[in-house]
Chain A
Amino acid sequence: MKTVWYFTLGISVLLILYFYGLTIGSQSLDISVVFNYFWSSEKLMDFELLTMQELRIPRVTVALLAGGALAVSGLQMQTLFRNPLAGPDVMGVNAGATLGVALAVMGASLFSTIFPSINDNLSSISYHSLTLATAGSLGSLFVLLLLFTVSWRLTDSVTLLILGLLFSYIISAIVSVLQFFSHPSFLKVFVVWTMGSTSGITSGQMPYLFISILLGLILSIVTIPAMNIMLLGDMYARTLGVNVKRTRVLVVLSTTLLSGTVTAFCGPISFLAIAVPHMCRLLLKTSQHQILLPATFLLGSLLLVISDIVTSSITSFSLPITTFTSLLGIPMLIWIIIKGRK
């Protein structure tokens, strides 16, 4: 009963914040404009219609979807690796996306140094926002597959975490080399990407993000029963008839689609993926994925929509969204660690 109450409250607050978020921006829009957009758009002026359609709705909707997707990917990684500190940023998945984007953006500079004649074509490819998104997703998949392969041999969760960190360091070294050879213009694109933003996605790109997240969520829902059993260990799961190998592959695919695509489109957004699943466990006092999965999606969405509202309203300049999620996520993580120690 308490769980139902939490969900009802969460959905209501999310809906209120979503509509409130649509009024927030460099130009303040009245809530009536937001409602008119959905129910009688002919009443809106051209400027209001365009602002809603091309700027506000993509921005706040992306925050809602991305927050939920990142939180679910964190939950899945924590279960898959049986590690409370697992998450796309800690395990190197975000670093993988960074590598993909860095290769797509700055690799052009490096290759054009070696092959000057292909410079023109490369520069145009590397600026394509969908190229960046694809490259980021592939980078995430690469790191996840690496981790996944290693996790067959190493079951110790601490060792896996260390490996994730080591992958991040290697990737960071490769990115530094790419930065060294990069043209300043490419470097600028890459640095802006690393800041993380929900306002860079256009209405035309929304379907790609939406389909990726939807597929990722479907896969995560499919694996719910198996994930519940896998919490008890692989051996136990096998004896209960769970196809552990298949489940792992599905979870890796789902995590790539969720966190990889979000990172590729929005840049690295820190700490939501680690903190939100823990918050949900503490609130709902359960480890059952059929409850945790929708709860993490809901809370993740809620927190990123709040972050978006705060970063869009406290300054007229472009404040990286990851600054606020870090400020929000790190104290929660410290609290979780201290509480765990007790």
Chain B
Amino acid sequence: MQKFVLLILIFIINSCSQQQKESITHSNIHTDTLKIEFAKGFKIIDKQEYTEIQIFDPWQGARGKVFSYKLNNDSLKAKSLQHFYKSPSRFVCMSTTHVALLTALDCRKSITAISGAKFVYDSVLSVMIKNGEIADAGYDQQLDLEKMFVLKPNAIFAFGINEKGNSWLQKAENLGIPVVWVADYLESHPLGKLEWIKVFGEFCNKREFANQYFDSVKQNYNVLKMKVNKQSNKMIISSLPYMGVWYISGKKSYLVQMIHDAGASYIGDNLDSHESIALNIEQVFVKGREADVWINTDMAKTRKEMLQTDERLQYFKAFISRNIYSNIKRMSKEGGNDYWESGITNPDKILNDFIEILSNDTTDIDKRLHFYKKIN
């Protein structure tokens, strides 16, 4: 009797595992998920008739939210709001990082409108904006919906700050304007941010180009990372305090990742967060005074301007030793900063800047820096 029960159990287990294998094999026939190395916010799945892009939790605090977009080579099949035709045409960008990703794909002409167009750094795009070829999409996250209605874009590339702030985009969808969530800003690795080029590559029908671009930058980044002297032991402090409040990046942010990749430690290494955290000046004062290098001094372009913001900065070691660098080398007169634009598609150049800044040889350093500038 016992043997009989055992045989039945073996048979059931075996048949179940057979079924499982079949379903996997079955799914392998129809779908193929593209390899995503660093980004955590999306998946690209090739299906028999279309490509599916899944975007996960595209704003801070989102839990279990999945947005699915289907992309088709046949324009006739792209009829619903979540079903797109793979073609570089008529996109609205709500962030300059989206602009940078499309620019890297050489898809400038497919941009119809940009949010905060006056802050765009790219010279070609600036001319297009001045000539009226690219419109201003509105302020910050708030879309000019009437303009959108007239422009009839194929997609609005949007980012979400929180659930409430997304109501404008919900309205756009209600008006029949497709919205695509882009969560590049939530990625904690610089190459993860860049990897979103693959999503844009799908929309522009430039998959190969996007993959090649990503692989090339990744290779440069990794080569630089390998060269780094991990024993440098230098500590970096960033940004400036206002009214006694100092925003310090959390250790899971992409900035801190790059600082670590450049072989340095960061003042906020103990802050377990993806975002910047508002700290009291006293908290930063204690540890920050010993930092060797200061980066990202916001709008302060000189040491004098730093002191005008808060004179207590004079006690910091990096201030005294004049090891201060800010990401303001490439700025437009209107205040657009290329660091926030092409910086996303060239993290290798930012890493190279950090390596140069941390090196002991700082003679003529400004000539070797791409995004950064020494603050005197």
Chain A residues within 8 Å of B, Cβ to Cβ: 25-27, 47, 50-51, 54-56, 59, 109, 112-113, 116-117, 119-120, 123-124, 127-130, 180, 183, 185-186, 188-189, 192-193, 195, 197-202, 204-205, 266-267, 312, 316-318
Which of B119, B245, B247, B302 neighbours the largest number of chain A CB atoms within 10 Å of its CB? B245
Contact between A200 and B308, CB atoms less than 8 A apart: no
Interchain CB contact (< 8 A) of B300 among A109, A127, A192, A316: A127
Interchain CB contact (< 8 A) of A318 among B278, B286, B305: B278
Query: Can you name 16 extra interface pairs (CB under 8 A) apart from A55-B312, A127-B300, A180-B139?
Result: A54-B285, A56-B282, A124-B299, A129-B309, A129-B310, A183-B119, A188-B242, A192-B243, A193-B243, A197-B244, A200-B281, A201-B244, A204-B311, A312-B280, A318-B245, A318-B279
- Across the interface, which residues of A come within 8 angstroms of B315, CB to CB? 50, 54
Contact between B333 and A116, CB atoms less than 8 A apart: yes
Is B334 on the interface with A (CB-CB < 8 A)? yes
The 9 A-B residue pairs whose C-beta atoms are closest, nearest first, are A199-B244, A200-B243, A200-B244, A26-B283, A116-B333, A192-B242, A128-B308, A318-B280, A183-B335
What 0/1 pattern do residues 228 to 259 of B give for CB contact below 8 A with A? 00000000000001111111000000000000
B239 smallest CB distance to A (angstroms):
10
Is B217 on the interface with A (CB-CB < 8 A)? no
Given A25-B282, A27-B286, A199-B280, A119:B335 Cβ within 8 A = yes
Given A124-B305, A180-B139, A202-B311, A193:B280 Cβ within 8 A = no
B334 nearest CB neighbor, chain A only: A116
Contact between A317 and B242, CB atoms less than 8 A apart: no
Contact between A195 and B243, CB atoms less than 8 A apart: yes
Contact between B312 and A202, CB atoms less than 8 A apart: yes
Contact between B242 and A124, CB atoms less than 8 A apart: no
B91 smallest CB distance to A (angstroms):
22
Contact between A123 and B243, CB atoms less than 8 A apart: no
Is B47 on the interface with A (CB-CB < 8 A)? no
- Across the interface, which residues of B come within 8 angstroms of A188, CB to CB? 242, 247, 298
B308 nearest CB neighbor, chain A only: A128
B317 smallest CB distance to A (angstroms):
13
- Across the interface, which residues of A come within 8 angstroms of B303, CB to CB? none
Report the bound CA distance from A129 to B281 in whole Å: 15
Is B277 on the interface with A (CB-CB < 8 A)? yes
Report the bound CA distance from A129 to B307 in whole Å: 10
Contact between A199 and B281, CB atoms less than 8 A apart: yes
A196 nearest CB neighbor, chain B only: B243
Contact between A200 and B334, CB atoms less than 8 A apart: no
Report the bound CA distance from A267 to B245 in whole Å: 12
* Interface of chain A, main secondary structure: helix
- Across the interface, which residues of B come within 8 angstroms of A200, CB to CB? 241-245, 281, 310
B190 smallest CB distance to A (angstroms):
21
Interchain CB contact (< 8 A) of A26 among B277, B280, B299, B309: B280
Contact between B280 and A117, CB atoms less than 8 A apart: no
Is B90 on the interface with A (CB-CB < 8 A)? no
Report the bound CA distance from A54 to B313 in whole Å: 10
28 contacts between A and B (CB under 8 A): A25-B280, A26-B280, A50-B315, A51-B282, A54-B312, A55-B281, A109-B335, A112-B333, A117-B333, A123-B301, A124-B301, A127-B300, A127-B305, A127-B309, A130-B308, A186-B299, A188-B298, A189-B242, A192-B242, A195-B243, A197-B244, A200-B243, A200-B281, A266-B243, A316-B280, A317-B280, A318-B244, A318-B280
- Across the interface, which residues of A come within 8 angstroms of B302, CB to CB? 124
Contact between A124 and B335, CB atoms less than 8 A apart: no
Contact between A124 and B244, CB atoms less than 8 A apart: no
B298 smallest CB distance to A (angstroms):
5
- Across the interface, which residues of B come within 8 angstroms of A47, CB to CB? 286
B residues 162-177 in Cβ contact with A at 8 Å: none
Report the bound CA distance from A117 to B308 in whole Å: 22
Report the bound CA distance from A312 to B244 in whole Å: 12
Is B118 on the interface with A (CB-CB < 8 A)? yes
A54 nearest CB neighbor, chain B only: B312
Contact between B243 and A197, CB atoms less than 8 A apart: yes
Report the bound CA distance from A50 to B286 in whole Å: 10
A194 nearest CB neighbor, chain B only: B243
A101 smallest CB distance to B (angstroms):
10
Report the bound CA distance from A130 to B308 in whole Å: 8
B312 smallest CB distance to A (angstroms):
5
- Across the interface, which residues of A come within 8 angstroms of B245, CB to CB? 192, 195, 197, 200, 318
Contact between A316 and B243, CB atoms less than 8 A apart: no
Report the bound CA distance from A186 to B139 in whole Å: 15
Report the bound CA distance from A189 to B242 in whole Å: 6
B119 nearest CB neighbor, chain A only: A183
Report the bound CA distance from A186 to B309 in whole Å: 13
Which of B278, B282, B285, B286 neighbours the largest number of chain A CB atoms within 10 Å of its CB? B282
Report the bound CA distance from A113 to B139 in whole Å: 15
- Across the interface, which residues of B come within 8 angstroms of A197, CB to CB? 243-245
B residues 308-342 in Cβ contact with A at 8 Å: 308-312, 315, 333-335
B residues 151-194 in Cβ contact with A at 8 Å: none
Report the bound CA distance from A51 to B282 in whole Å: 8
B147 smallest CB distance to A (angstroms):
16
B45 smallest CB distance to A (angstroms):
36
- Across the interface, which residues of A come within 8 angstroms of B246, CB to CB? 318
A126 nearest CB neighbor, chain B only: B299
A191 nearest CB neighbor, chain B only: B242
Report the bound CA distance from A198 to B243 in whole Å: 8
B300 nearest CB neighbor, chain A only: A127
Report the bound CA distance from A204 to B118 in whole Å: 38
Report the bound CA distance from A55 to B282 in whole Å: 7
- Across the interface, which residues of A come within 8 angstroms of B247, CB to CB? 188
Contact between B286 and A26, CB atoms less than 8 A apart: yes
- Across the interface, which residues of B come within 8 angstroms of A27, CB to CB? 282, 286
A187 nearest CB neighbor, chain B only: B140
Which of A26, A119, A205, A266 neighbours the largest number of chain B CB atoms within 10 Å of its CB? A26
Contact between A127 and B282, CB atoms less than 8 A apart: no
Interchain CB contact (< 8 A) of A123 among B286, B299, B311: B299
Which of A112, A130, A183 neighbours the largest number of chain B CB atoms within 10 Å of its CB? A183
- Across the interface, which residues of B come within 8 angstroms of A112, CB to CB? 333-335
A309 smallest CB distance to B (angstroms):
13
B330 smallest CB distance to A (angstroms):
15
Which of A51, A112, A199, A205 neighbours the largest number of chain B CB atoms within 10 Å of its CB? A199
